[in-house]
Amino acid sequence: MAGQRTLRRAVSDEDKQRRRREILDAAQQVFSEHGYNATTVADVARGAGLSYGVVYWYFESKDDLFAALMSAEEEALRRRIREALVADAGDDVGDLLRVAVRATFEYFEENPASTRLLFRDTSAFGDRFERHLSGIFGRFIGDLEALVVDAQERGYLRPAPARMVAYACASL
């Protein structure tokens, strides 16, 4: 197969994690360019420079690969927001919310494949992945809600339904 690399088998846990990451990186690019339905496991393997069978050592199916990719995307975004909040550990809730929103926009600007992946043709992914995307958004809202509750408890925000305030912030 053209473009395929000659690789030694990943034996150590570190090698296996690196190989899994290579597959996920290729999957991110291929899924974001072609969409879920038009992408095959063979396309991802080709993008990673691996044989078709190697992908199946790490993921049971295209659905399993995509679900793992979506989880990795969510974790990367949430990690970016957490890191930004820790770096700017001020007390002003307005600043904290601005930091969280800014970190979100910066993440998407720096990761165009993630943006395409999370926002492109989501209805074409089917119910399972729409639920997964809804879960990502729900956890994002939950993170914002926790900031709002903390700010309310500390007297920085007026009492209001924290979840509604979180949705309002997310919509900004």
3-state per-residue secondary structure call for the chain: CCCCCCCCCCCCHHHHHHHHHHHHHHHHHHHHHHCCCCCCHHHHHHHHCCCHHHHHHHCCCHHHHHHHHHHHHHHHHHHHHHHHHHHCCCCCHHHHHHHHHHHHHHHHHHCHHHHHHHHCCHHHHCHHHHHHHHHHHHHHHHHHHHHHHHHHHCCCCCCCCHHHHHHHHHHC
> What is the tens place of the pLDDT at every residue in 122-164?
655 667 677 777 787 888 888 888 888 888 888 877 888 988 8
Distance between CA atoms of residues 74 and 82, nearest Å: 12
Residue 5 burial (10 A CB sphere; 0-12, 13-18, 19+):
exposed
Alpha-carbon distance of 138 to 60, in angstroms, equals 27
Q: What is the mean pLDDT of the chain?
A: 83
Bigger pLDDT: 5 or 48? 48
What the block records as the tokens of 37 is: 């339905």
Residue 10: per-residue pLDDT = 64
pTM summary value = 0.74
